[in-house]
Structure 1
Amino acid sequence: MTRDSEQQRPAPADWCPLRLTTPVAQHVFGGRAIPDRLGRTGLPDGPVAETWEVSDVEGAGAEVVGGPLAGRSLRELVRDHPAELIGARGADGPRFPLLTKFIDAHRALPVHVHPDDADARALDGEPNGKTEAWHILYARPGATAWAGTVPGVGRGRLRQALLDEDFASVLRRLPVRAGDTLYVPAGTVHSFGPGTLVYEIEQTSDLQQHAMRHRMEDGAALGDEQRHANIEALLDRWKPRYRPRFHPGLPLPAAAGTERRVLAAGPYFALERHRAVDGAGLALSFDSAVVLSNVGRPVRLSWDGGTESLGAGATLLLPAVLARATVHGPADVLLGHVPELDRDIRAPLTAAGHDPAAVSALGEGV
């Protein structure tokens, strides 16, 4: 691949926090929690199941809204300016490496599975699969999730249980509480809801196989032949060894008036939650792209080149080239990025006194 000439490359002043288009999925399991609980504006009427905050998924990719790079697609920026946008980590593929969503499971999501990287390449002809993590923003009392199979379940037993929709006999039911996070390796059979609002970070992929009798997009019934084929495809991608557990995250030392908590971490992504009281600032320093999603009141962001507002339930993508930014309190934000695990996760958490077992519970490879 040839690099742009210096004349074609965006000037340093052109790089600023990127506001992106956000595809909306109005699947049948959605409700109105994203506008009503998060305060997100500009959404269509009716059920809103998902807002894709940063997406480079084929056919549902984001474009820059406003600023010097307005109209450029995220895919174009990845192709033409990987170092400036993404940084050194995660810049070796054709797509932006992170997909982030708000998901309203007003009703339960379909029981489904995502392939891992090897299965995505071998079975789906795609460059990567989808490991993900869920951070619970709201859960009604008694809310639960399915995550992984119980010990001793084999392919035949799982197949029959999925055909019968007897999920309780084969899947692990976990209680869901606001503030907890679940790292879900690819290959894990899972679902969550009803009554659950989630922020999800994952590899950039829309590959999945589900076991339900209906389409999640519109509720249309599936014929027996298609449903049986879907279940066989799910079984081909299922990894029985994964039995993840919810985790409250691990705090790190932070400046006065601020909090920092690592929620999930692995080779594909890390997710953190940062808070600041009125008058305090979250000073961010980074050398890879940061997805900044606001789960509190509207906030103000500043960087060397200017300032930007960030509404409730909204997201900005901070290009790696910015290197520094400040979120001014009061603030409650989520930060997603591709970590250098030793430097960004293991070392600071160990220095903060966290046990290695607690650190490893955040995800894979830590």
Structure 2
Amino acid sequence: MSRTGTGWYPLRLTTPVKQHVFGGRYIPRYLGRDGMPEGRIAETWEVSDVEGDGAHIVNGALAGRSLRGLTEEFPEELVGRGWRGGPRFPLLTKFIDAYRPLPVHLHPDDEAARRLEGEPNGKTEAWHIVAAAPGATALVGVREGVGRDELRRALLAQDFDSVMRRLPVLAGRTIYVPAGTLHSFGPETLVYEIEQTSDLQQHAMRHRMEDGSPIPDDQWHSHIEALLDEWKPAPRPEFTPGLTLPSGEGTERRVLCAGPYFALERLRAHSHAGALVRAFDTAVVLSNVGTPTTVTCGPFSEPLGRASTLLLPAALGFVEIQAPADVLIGYVPDLNHDIRTPLLAAGHPAADVAALGEGLGGHSPTDQGT
């Protein structure tokens, strides 16, 4: 593969499916995802380089190659500007069906992951609400003034509402959840999640989320202490509707969230509009939450069905998405160039821009290109 991108094309990946106890059938029934196994479907991992659940390419000349192997061999061509030296492809994306509530849990930040877990990074994440039942809520963050001892007592009593913030959930809203934030969502909530590539977590439940089997008391107490060691009390994020950027007639571009690790946007085009067109110099995860469409990058075209995903290597540089379309795009941003500057230029207040995630209130040392 050359540095000009010769030979690269839109990549279709294997998609691990998790059948945890909180799942239902929203992904095949509501989203229309084909090829799902029988029974509950909790998560589909759209792009993953998590150890043991790493994706492989299933189309074209690179079929059979692992995402990890391509990332290691061609970091500039595949990941592009978003590459920070690895060791893994930087983005993990999922559809999550919280037919029942997820476990109350958290993920370590980078420092805690290295110090306590022996892993290179932790996991900050964001949820975009695809669909939710009337009255749906999420638990996100711990109330101000709650300390470690009070939180421990509440977790042991499984009395989460006494210490956690319960927020209303609406379709189309997005929340950026910093690592170390205690959280859960569901029931009857369908989410698209973007996050750092990690599966580290500590949860407070008495049962295993994989099969619902009970956790022995000593192990459960150990889990709660590990959770408290990785808990960060300060984050209290809120859901936002996102912020729009100028786009062509009959189209909409909305920035849903952004931080040092990822950004997520939603692009829409009505049937009478021309194709959605986007230039990029970093890998793009493109997931379809609307009707089937066609994705074209130069001479390469790929159909993109409902609830399906393509990974666009950075070397491709340009994509056209046939209207009508309703897609999500995730990428590693340059916060100044991609997010802060264009949103401020579009007239959005600085406070609204900062509310989209982390590092948007001013120059951040973790920004790309700063």
Q: What's the TM-score, normalizing by structure 2?
A: 0.96
Equivalences, count: 359
Percent identity of equivalent pairs: 66
Which residue is 1:248 aligned to?
241
1:161 aligns with 2:163: no
Q: Does 1:325 align with 2:319?
A: yes
Shift of 1:88: 2.3
Secondary structure at the aligned position of 1:291 is classed as: strand
Deviation at 1:349, TM superposition (A): 0.1
TM-score by length of 1: 0.97
The residue type paired with residue 123 of structure 2 is K
SS in 1 for 2:295: strand
The aligned residue for residue 365 of structure 2 is: none
CA drift of 1:14 comes to 2.2
What's 2:137 paired with? 144
Q: How far apart are residue 307 of structure 1 and its match?
A: 1.1
Write out per-residue CA displacement over residues 251-304 of structure 1, whole angstroms, 9 at most, x where no aligned residue: 010011110000000000000000001142110100000000000010011111
Q: 1:286 to 1:342 in 2, by over 3 A?
A: same
Q: Deviations over 1:63-98 (max 9, x none)?
A: 000101100000000100000000022341110000
Determine which of 338, 345, 348 is the counterpart of 1:344.
338
Matches within 5 A, 1:34-45: 34-45=27-38
Amino acid at match of 2:306: A
Is residue 82–residue 91 contact of structure 1 (8 Å, CA) maintained in 2? Answer: no
Corresponding residue for 2:278?
Answer: 284
CA displacement 1:127-170 (0-9 Å, x = unmatched): 00000000000010110000000011000110010010100100
Alignment correspondent of 2:119: 126
Kindly indicate whether the alpha-carbon contact (under 8 Å) linking 1:83 and 1:91 is maintained by their aligned counterparts in 2: no
Partner of 1:4: none
Please, which of 222, 225, 233 is the counterpart of residue 229 of structure 1? 222
CA RMSD of aligned residues (A): 1.0
Q: State the one-letter code of the partner of 1:363.
A: G
CA distance, structure 2, for counterparts of residue 232 and residue 99 of structure 1: 27
CA distance in 2, matches of 1:37, 1:75: 31
Aligned partner letter, 2:220: R
Aligned equivalents of 1:306, 1:14: Cα separation in 2 = 10
Residue in 1 aligned with 2:288? Answer: 294
Match of 2:60 in 1: 67
Rounded to whole Å, the distance in 2 between the matches of 1:116 and 1:12 is 34
Tell me the residue number matched to 2:49: 56
1:315 is matched with 309
Counterpart CA distance in 1 for 2:16 and 2:63 is 17
Contact 2:113 2:119 in 1 (8 A): yes
CA contact (8 A) 1:137 1:178 kept: yes
Q: Is the 8 A contact 1:87 1:320 kept in 2?
A: yes
Q: What's 1:3 paired with?
A: none
Q: Is the Cα–Cα contact under 8 Å of residues 76 and 83 in structure 2 kept in the other structure?
A: no
Equivalent residue number for residue 265 of structure 2: 272
- Is the contact between residue 5 and residue 77 of structure 2 (CA under 8 Å) also seen in structure 1? no
1:21-79 per-position Cα deviation (integer Å, ceiling 9, x unaligned): 00000000000000111110011000000000000000000000010110000000010
Q: Give the distance between the partners of 1:201 and 1:71, measured in 2 at CA.
A: 24
